[in-house]
Amino acid sequence: MNRFLLLLITIPILEIYLFIKIGSQIGALQTILLIFLTAFFGVIYARYEGFNTLKAGMSQLVKNELPIYEIISGAALAFAAFLLILPGFATDFLGLLIIFPPTRKLIFKNVSAEKKNNNKNKDFIEGEFEDIDDKNDRKF
C-alpha cells in the first residue's frame, strides 16, 4: 500500500485515540487548552530557531560557504511549525522533535547516511570525453 495513503489514514486515527485517552484523564477543557498551548509555544520556539538558522546561514554566506545544512534546517523548521499548528498530540510531538537542534541533527545524520548507502549500491560507469573540432567538416 502507498505509504502516503497509509499515513493519511493512520495519523487522524492516532490523534483521535490520543484525544480520547488524554481527555478522559485530564478533562475536555484542559485537553483543548493543552492543544492550543502546544501550538502557540511550538510556533514561537520554531520562529526562534528559524531566526537562529537564518543567522547561521548568513554567517556561512559571509564566509563564502554554501549554507546547505541551514537551508535544509529551515525547511525542516517550517514543516515542524506546520505540524505544531495541526491539532493533535502525535503531530505536536513529532514537530517538537524536529524543532530541537540535537534531534534535528540526528534525523539529518540518519537520512544522509541512508542516502549515501543507496548511492553506493548503484552502478556507475566513469569515463572521459574529448570534444574535437574539425574545421574541414561541413555543417548540414
Q: Is residue 83 part of a domain?
A: yes
On average, the pLDDT of the chain sits at 83
Q: What percent of the chain has pLDDT over 70?
A: 84
Domains in the chain: how many in total? 1
Q: Is residue 139 part of a domain?
A: no
Query: CB–CB of 49/77 below 8 Å?
Result: yes
Q: Is residue 136 part of a domain?
A: no
Read off the pLDDT of residues 85-114 as tens digits, 9 standing for 90 and up.
888 899 999 988 888 888 888 887 876 665
pLDDT value for 2: 87
CA angle, residues 47, 52, 54, in degrees to nearest 5: 90
Residue span of the structural domain in which 21 resides: 10-119
* Model confidence, pTM: 0.69
Read off the pLDDT of residues 27-52 as tens digits, 9 standing for 90 and up.
999 999 999 998 898 889 888 888 88
pLDDT value for 129: 72
pLDDT value for 119: 56
Q: How far apart are the first and last CA of the chain?
A: 53
Q: Is residue 34 part of a domain?
A: yes
Q: Is residue 76 part of a domain?
A: yes
CB within 8 A of 99, min separation 6: which ones? 42, 45, 46, 49, 77, 80, 81, 84
| Nearest alpha-carbon partner for 21 in 34, 31, 7 | 31
